[in-house]
Chains A and B, each alone.
Chain A
């Protein structure tokens, strides 16, 4: 990479940072410090604004860089990811968005705790929310690191470390100073930038092939060296039954995990009514669906134009396929067009990572302050002090995410995100669905549902080839691998549901009819909604 790329990319990225910091300052000029304002932005966003913000929260670097990279390397098997990421939104739209908006105030635990004995349920749901958020954060940090390694070429090691630290510092500033209002505006700006960049690249790819999608596919297949099988499933996940089950496991985690992601759930509280929450999800499904359709074009385009060998040569996991594609589309690494386009893509990817980490940090600091701190320390903490705790929590979470991000920097970003989804689907979704729809659900059932999904999911990952036993593992030197699959979803998601059922039927507690009636009436009508 030449110096021009770096300078221009850093300039563009600096401009984005300046704009976002300005937004943060602007929205915090009339700060009251209320919890409503910090966690939910005053609940005043319009459905369209929130739809863009949801899309901004969801279209992470894992999608932009990871999925296109997987398609470039493995063809159709990469596309399976994007289908799962999109279909998941139907679960959110049908079962979660409106009801959660009506029942809760700031977090997932609000919905569950309304029906149950509050303290144990809040601690359980808060713990699992923080775990999911930290896993997701690590994925974004790794994405930031690998992007910089590409930008700066060989001298990347130190720069990678500093990028991860810098991203962490910025997200802490956004969240602790600007709260939900700043985070939402940053998401909106980022969503527009990301969609703009993706549309531009997609158009350029299609123009290169004269609008002929068929020719794009056949060129990609030819260039890949796999021929026709590049366009059919099986290259990555078809080798043996372990790989096949691994993918089915991932597919389940993707489709069920979105509805349990804390930073997505917290977005529904930023609009005034359940109807507005529904309309934001409709907006975001349109935006996200369009985005994933374009990543398919970009992925196959990278395979056809750059070629899988060059992609693999730059980053073995494929995370740098899109920047390389941009370089080529602009006219090659020596041309002005290539330099500009590459810099734009790199800056957009940076912006994406920054915005997503801000959203996750905010959601997890809400879980720490509103659920864990409020239950563990003082039952009647004042609003201002709870928000103060949330600001401190954002700093602590930033530090943890930076440390883990440096440790895990060689893992594929899309894979790490798959893991976060698996934990969300196992620990958060069962308890959420049971509390919304099951009349007989009890406190013990709720606590068991959370831990019964969370603990197996984390244990299975520790015992999987991800942690040990192969050269690509986190700890390649040792081998305590027992569980063959990389993604625990296929086992841990059913376990979460079973544990919740088992805890309920074995508990002596008689379910409170009136509390259930209240949850049901409130969830479907919005009566008494915050």
Chain B
């Protein structure tokens, strides 16, 4: 339980905002490469370029905050962010509109909802089961989108960002 992998030093150095409740021997199981292997198949090949800043630029007393601002402005990060937003924003608007529309119709137009379709099954029953179905489909679509379009790029950014903050802290402490 007390094992610590090669990155734990980096991570402890890089987490200055954590309270002093971090025990030195706590288990670290977030080696990014563990995830990379698990998600390696089926990746699309359009991973954006890594963060351009190199170690050399940090000699001028930069802080962790500067690193985060730099990463935020990098093209690689903006690409990940826009991929996330391009999926999530329309999807959230879509399913919220469909759900609110369903609830409002059910409460204000019960006549429409009661219209029979086949046997005892009516419009209301189909709409309700349709909500279940769209929820399952959107879940699947989101998981697939994140796995194919975001995971690898985000992982590389995480790695780069942690490298940048670690090197800096190591020099200053």
Contact = CB atoms under 8 A, between A and B. Distances in A.
Nearest to B162: A527
B131 A238 contact: no
Contacts of A87: 95, 99, 131, 135
5 contacts: A32-B25, A76-B106, A76-B125, A251-B99, A517-B65
B65 A232 contact: no
Given A221-B120, A255-B96, A278-B143, A289 B68 contact: no
Contacts of B11: 528
Contact of B103 (A32, A248, A517): A248
B26 interface: yes
A79 B128 contact: yes
Interface in B131-149: 131-132, 135-136, 138-140, 142-143, 146
Given A34-B21, A272-B29, A529-B30, A229 B80 contact: no
Given A36-B23, A275-B35, A520-B81, A247 B107 contact: yes
Interface string A70-109: 0000001001100110110111011100100000010000
A530 interface: yes
Given A84-B99, A89-B135, A525-B158, 20 more contacts: A35-B21, A36-B22, A44-B29, A76-B128, A86-B131, A90-B91, A214-B118, A218-B119, A233-B110, A238-B110, A244-B107, A248-B104, A272-B34, A275-B146, A282-B140, A514-B68, A524-B77, A526-B30, A526-B154, A527-B161
Interface residues of B, number: 74
A525 B95 contact: no
A156 interface: no
B120 A380 contact: no
Given A95-B92, A380-B20, A527-B161, A233 B125 contact: no
Interface of B: 1, 11, 14-15, 17-23, 25-27, 29-30, 32, 34-35, 39, 64-66, 68-69, 71-72, 77, 80-81, 84, 88, 91-92, 95-96, 99-100, 102-104, 106-108, 110, 113-114, 116, 118-122, 124-125, 128, 131-132, 135-136, 138-140, 142-143, 146, 151, 154-155, 157-158, 161-162, 165
Given A214-B119, A520-B72, A238 B154 contact: no
Interface residues of A, number: 77
A386 interface: yes
A285 B141 CA distance: 13
B132 A382 contact: no
B114 A94 contact: no
Contacts of B88: 94-95
Contact of B72 (A79, A217, A521, A526): A521
Nearest to B166: A528
Contact of B100 (A89, A233, A251, A529): A251
Contacts of B114: 228-229, 231-234
Given A30-B1, A87-B95, A528-B11, A293 B132 contact: yes
Contacts of B27: 36, 42-44
B68 A383 contact: no
Contacts of B120: 214-215, 217-218, 221, 231
Nearest to A380: B20
Nearest to A247: B107
Interface string A506-530: 0000000111011011101111111
A524 B81 contact: yes
Q: Which of A114, A374, A528 has the most CB of B within 10 A?
A: A528
Contacts of A37: 26
A214 B121 CA distance: 7
B106 A526 contact: no
Nearest to B26: A36
A214 to B, nearest CB: 4
A380 B20 CA distance: 7
Contacts of B118: 214
A32 B2 CA distance: 11
A528 B162 contact: yes
A320 interface: no
A37 B1 CA distance: 11
Closest 4 pairs between A and B when the two form their complex, measured CB to CB? A232-B114, A514-B65, A527-B161, A383-B21
